[in-house]
């Protein structure tokens, strides 16, 4: 059995400013840092690389290598294409084909960054992996467990996408940026160090989807399976034709291609009937949902009506709710007030103040 070195850490370097500064901070703290860029996407032509950017762009590995050279740390590009295709890209496509709206960043964190990357870090003898996420991992002596807390930089907090962590993964993970009060502080450090990534813009879109046109991306993969169907109203009356359910998500108003003389919103998608249900803004709201594949980070069990603040999309504010446990890692979540666009496939994430409790995948809005 390989002995892991507690002073050795593999940093996932995306070619951005956050992971660059994370590597520097850990080096300053006395760790032996190894930089790794994960090659997750097949070769593209030069123009497509330029348009995609983010952690998949042609310049990402070059930017990360330049930072590693400046820090004097070993740097490797490792191939993660197969597992990324299977666990992130295929999942993304399958979810849209099933009428759900996936969150690929959550899948990438679960299966790639804190599972496969950790496994490879161990192969290099490193005890830890580290990333440039804005979140805090803290060991709580009272409960003898690790907990995740929100970043000090509230505007950049990324805990919503981290609810799948296990205690074993947390034991081996470092997130040094959680203590920073703002992204500007991180950029300032990068600039002072002369990092080429200092002024690099944040990656905003899905990294593997060109121009954020996810409908076109799926059509290129599943053109024979995407067929037009009916728009129906909430009473089931046919009111128009849609271009395939992969092009729609709950709460959507723009790009419907249907004129009803009043604002129209997607309120439901029925994949087995290839229908998209259209209603009013009021119809988009709900007060209760069902979630599955629920993971709690440091809680062994919860009681009926367990109070939390629940968040149902990345940039939404957590709101007061109660959790009711069901069988097989499923829960019912009841909100204090109606919330907008409960969307199957998205995550519902639970907090107690600034402490991340866990989360799961939304199955449906309970009517």
- Of the candidates 55, 56, 105, 108, the residue annotated as catalytic is 108
Residues 134/163, Cβ–Cβ less than 8 Å: no
- Copy the structure tokens of residue 343: 């969307």
Q: Determine whether the annotation assigns residue 360 to a binding site.
A: no
- d(C-alpha 239, C-alpha 221), whole Å: 29
Q: Is 17 annotated as a binding residue?
A: yes
Annotated binding residue at 18? yes
Taken in order 198, 199, 205, 211, is the CA torsion positive or negative? negative
Round the CA-based radius of gyration of the chain to a whole number and report it. Answer: 22
Helix (H, G, I), strand (E, B) or coil at 42: coil
Q: Is 38 annotated as a binding residue?
A: yes
Catalytic residue among 55, 56, 105, 207: 207
Beta-sheet pairing, 173-174 with 126-130:
parallel
Angstrom CA distances, 271 to 268, 285, 333, stand at 10, 20, 24
DSSP string, 323-355: EEE-STT-EEEEEEEEEE---TTSEEEEEETTE
Find, among 137, 165, 168, the residue nearest to 151 by Cα. Answer: 137
Q: Is 13 marked as a binding-site residue?
A: yes
Instruction: Tell me if residue 108 is catalytic.
Output: yes
Q: According to the annotation, is 15 in a ligand binding site?
A: yes
Does 105 qualify as catalytic in the annotation?
no
**Residues designated as active site:** 108, 207
Residues making up the binding site: 12-19, 38, 132
**Would you list which residues are annotated within the binding site for ATP?**
12-19, 38, 132
């Amino acid at each position: 059995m390989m002995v892991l070195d507690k002073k050795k850490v593999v940093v996932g370097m995306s070619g951005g400013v956050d992971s660059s500064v994370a590597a520097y901070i850990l080096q300053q703290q006395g760790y032996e840092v190894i930089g790794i860029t994960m090659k997750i996407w097949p070769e593209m032509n030069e123009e497509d690389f330029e348009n995609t950017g983010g952690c998949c762009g042609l310049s990402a590995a070059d930017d990360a290598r330049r930072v590693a050279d400046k820090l004097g740390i070993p740097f490797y590009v490792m191939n993660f294409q197969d597992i990324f295709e299977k666990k992130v890209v295929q999942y993304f496509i399958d979810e849209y084909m099933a009428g759900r709206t996936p969150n690929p960043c959550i899948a990438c964190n679960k299966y790639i960054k804190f599972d496969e990357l950790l496994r490879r870090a161990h192969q290099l003898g490193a005890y830890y992996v580290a990333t440039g996420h804005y979140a805090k991992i803290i060991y709580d002596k009272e409960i003898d467990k690790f907990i995740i807390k929100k970043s000090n930089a509230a505007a950049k907090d990324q805990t919503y996408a981290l609810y799948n962590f296990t205690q074993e993964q947390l034991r081996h993970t470092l997130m040094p940026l959680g203590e920073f009060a703002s992204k500007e502080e991180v950029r300032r450090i990068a600039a002072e160090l002369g990092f080429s990534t200092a002024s690099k813009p944040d990656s905003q879109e899905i990294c593997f989807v060109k121009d954020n046109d996810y409908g076109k991306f799926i059509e290129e993969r599943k053109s024979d399976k995407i067929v037009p169907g009916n728009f129906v109203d909430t009473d089931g009356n046919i009111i128009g034709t849609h271009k395939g359910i992969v092009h729609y998500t709950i709460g959507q108003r723009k790009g419907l291609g249907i004129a009803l003389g009043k604002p129209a919103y997607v309120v439901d998608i029925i994949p087995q009937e290839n229908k998209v249900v259209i209603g009013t803004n009021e119809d988009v709201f709900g007060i209760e949902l069902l979630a599955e594949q629920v993971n709690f980070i440091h809680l062994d069990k919860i009681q009926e009506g367990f109070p939390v603040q629940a968040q149902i999309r990345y940039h939404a504010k957590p709101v007061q709710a109660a959790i009711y446990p069901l069988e097989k890692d499923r829960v019912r979540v009841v909100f204090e007030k109606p919330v907008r666009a409960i969307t199957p496939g998205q995550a519902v994430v639970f907090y107690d103040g600034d402490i991340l409790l866990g989360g799961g995948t939304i199955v449906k809005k309970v009517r």
